[in-house]
A = this chain, B = another copy of it.
């Protein structure tokens, strides 16, 4: 019977069991300690990953589930966000995003220079510090039902803009690393991306409203869900083609349905998300490899980068948040803190381009994960006096 254990199907099923089971076990324990459960799920990934138990490695199977998980997470968050509200915070979000690019980049580069590392490495580390992974923040705000709050809307809009800016930074530094910066290409990508996000954001909701009569005529069971999935996959793919992350498209797809989505669509989407999300969260933890920290000087550098990663977004984004209260500046700064998988993608790129060494890559991934773990409890604290949707709200006039 032993040979059966080695079949791919058996391996996949065992992986599903270990990853999902341990994620939920730790989530339950963390919730009991009043820490957001999703941190438990990331830590489950660290525990079963290469640094600790070495039970599970990030296989293509897990990676693809993780990819779907974060796609559905952003789609579900989009479902709860009205596009008009997002556009109404557009200008503040723009300055938040700019502040959240400049300061982290300068800090990352500065620290590397202070440690005497070559310029190209400094620039790459700076770029990785720029990344914002909005998934975790969005999940916390959504679970606490405070997505209605102006500061939440600002974070979401700023994260989308940040993704566009991050793309530019990445295009610039990879061009720089290869010794050729193609200004024409970069300009075209920028225009395309802005046009894509703007057009889909602005016209998406209206287009979906026009689709409602078509959907009513359909014979397919769960036709609304089917249409939503097709739009989700289409916009995710379009986002990648234009040059931004697929999850930006997923978020836009969700937002396009936010006006018209029925309860059934929300329930079915939640089912897919609940199944897949643990694989994304565990996947974040799985990439953490702490071996690099043993090398001399690395611990100090890692510590400096971590502190800089946390403070630079807090201060950079907080300063950029014009015209809001001090409390909201803090909320926005904390919400923009997680680097998550976006920072890890930049680190991966630096590794494959030969700019970053393996220990440096390990440190960068650890920094990304720790910023992602630190944010949810801070967020929960910052939003403790904001009423959940449906209760009496702090600023009811803002709805």
Residues of B within 8 A of A10 (CB): 237, 240-241, 246
Residues of B within 8 A of A226 (CB): 20, 24, 274
Q: Across the two chains, which residue of chain B brings its CB closest to A15?
A: B233
The interface centre, meaning the residue of A233, A241, A243 with most chain B CB atoms within 10 A of its CB, is A233
Interface residue count for A (Cβ, 8 Å)?
55
CB under 8 Å from chain B, chain A span 272-320: 272-275
- Nearest-neighbour CB distance to chain B for A67, whole angstroms, equals 6
| Contact between B67 and A189, CB atoms less than 8 A apart | no
Q: Across the two chains, which residue of chain B brings its CB closest to A225?
A: B274
Residues of B within 8 A of A7 (CB): 240
| Contact between A28 and B220, CB atoms less than 8 A apart | yes
Residues of B within 8 A of A274 (CB): 222, 225-226, 268, 271-272
Residues of B within 8 A of A21 (CB): 230, 233-234
Q: In this assembly, does A17 line the interface, its C-beta being within 8 Å of a C-beta of chain B? A: yes
Q: In this assembly, does A13 line the interface, its C-beta being within 8 Å of a C-beta of chain B? A: yes
Q: In this assembly, does A187 line the interface, its C-beta being within 8 Å of a C-beta of chain B? A: no
Q: Across the two chains, which residue of chain B brings its CB closest to A233?
A: B17
CB under 8 Å from chain B, chain A span 198-227: 218-223, 225-226
- Nearest-neighbour CB distance to chain B for A219, whole angstroms, equals 4
A5 to B243 alpha-carbon distance, docked (Å): 10
Q: In this assembly, does A12 line the interface, its C-beta being within 8 Å of a C-beta of chain B? A: yes
Given contacts A240-B4, A268-B271, A272-B275, contact A229 B20 (CB under 8 A): yes
| Contact between B143 and A20, CB atoms less than 8 A apart | no
Identify which of B60, B240, B273 contacts A60 (C-beta below 8 A): B60
Q: In this assembly, does A16 line the interface, its C-beta being within 8 Å of a C-beta of chain B? A: yes
A163 to B127 alpha-carbon distance, docked (Å): 55
Q: In this assembly, does A96 line the interface, its C-beta being within 8 Å of a C-beta of chain B? A: no
A275 to B76 alpha-carbon distance, docked (Å): 14
Q: In this assembly, does A384 line the interface, its C-beta being within 8 Å of a C-beta of chain B? A: no
- Assuming A21-B230, A24-B229, what are 8 further A-B pairs, CB within 8 angstroms? A9-B246, A13-B236, A21-B233, A32-B219, A60-B61, A64-B65, A268-B275, A272-B272
Q: Which residues of A come within 8 Å of B, CB atoms?
A: 1, 4-5, 7, 9-10, 12-14, 16-17, 20-21, 24, 27-28, 31-32, 37, 60-61, 64-65, 67, 143, 185, 189, 218-223, 225-226, 229-230, 233-234, 236-237, 240-243, 246, 267-275
